[in-house]
Amino acid sequence: MAFGCLWLDDRPCLDPARPLAGHRNFRFNPPAYGPARFYEADPGRIVHEDDDLLVYHKEAGRPSQAVPYDAHNNVLAALGRLLAKRGGPARLWLPHRLDAETSGLLLLAKNQSAAGILGRSFQAGLVGKAYLALGLGPRPEREAFQVEAAIAKEGPRYVARAGGPGRAARTNFTVLAQRAFEAGGPEMNEVLFRAEPLTGRTHQIRLHLAWAGWPIRGDRFYGRAEEEAARPAPRLMLAATSLSLDHPGRPGRLEINLPAP
């Protein structure tokens, strides 16, 4: 129960003394690896911290927050434990998230006031975000383009549709570099993009690049399975490298950039 595998009415139940009376559903989600506690936050990966904000350079492969079978091995919980050890508040808020497979800048709030301000800034599109993505496809005909395709969930996966239905989504892409992909024939290239999502939908950059013809290398959901099998990527080749936002606790704009991984 302390590991977060047991849920009451779609919420984790961490208290073994909590009565089941009054709840409709009780669900057990066993993790494939058992209740193993193996992840802690690395203080060296904190790239910015003040009284209101914390920005963490998230590793690829780690969830931003708890998943239904594991409430321990995620960035939000691990940073809470780290702050508690330092004598600070263990409660953190997560106004935005990265996919587990995506690395890069993850923004967290250290108090409820900052969380509310940041949440409204994200909803209003006032937070600038940029990613690096390594796509696989033909040689691009344009140096920059925009993808506007709605995103919807179909079964366990998400899909992009030019005419909907779904939630509206837009992403700007700029070509930074490219090279031939030896395992994909003469017409296949690895293309490095700068991606700037103008909305914040689940799997947005991954879906929009795949829809445009350049699925991201290492993407097990939307990637090119045959080419990846011939020459597998070491990970999902997507990294959040830039954040720009109005600081919630003081005047001025906060700009944070990571070097290319």
**pLDDT digits 0-9 by tens, 37-51:** 999 999 999 999 999
User: Is residue 184's pLDDT more than 70?
Assistant: no
Q: Which fold has domain 127-261?
A: Pseudouridine synthase (3.30.2350)
Does the annotation mark 10 as catalytic? Answer: no
- State the architecture of 1-124 in CATH terms: 2-Layer Sandwich (3.30)
- The residue annotated as part of the active site, out of 15, 42, 51, 99, is 99
User: Is residue 231's pLDDT more than 90?
Assistant: yes
Which pLDDT score is estimated for 135? Answer: 98
Looking at every residue in the chain, the average pLDDT score rounds to 94
Residues 6 or more apart whose Cβ sits within 8 Å of residue 191: 134, 135, 136, 137, 139, 140, 175, 177, 178, 214
For the record, the structure tokens of 239 come out as 């990294």
For the record, the structure tokens of 7 come out as 């849920």
- Please report which confidence band the pLDDT of residue 94 belongs to, taking 50, 70 and 90 as the band edges: very high
Rounded-to-integer distance, Cα 55 and Cα 159, Å: 30
Whether the Cβ atoms of residue 208 and residue 131 lie closer than 8 Å to each other: no
Cα-Cα-Cα-Cα dihedral of 9, 10, 11, 17, to 10°? 40
User: Is residue 84's pLDDT more than 90?
Assistant: yes
Q: What residue segments make up the domains of the chain, in order of their start?
A: 1-124, 127-261
- Please report which confidence band the pLDDT of residue 164 belongs to, taking 50, 70 and 90 as the band edges: confident
Q: Among 193, 203, 187, which residue's Cα sits nearest to residue 137?
A: 187
Whether the Cβ atoms of residue 205 and residue 166 lie closer than 8 Å to each other: no
Model pTM score: 0.92
Q: What is the mean pLDDT of residues 130-146?
A: 97
Q: What is the mean pLDDT of residues 152-160?
A: 91
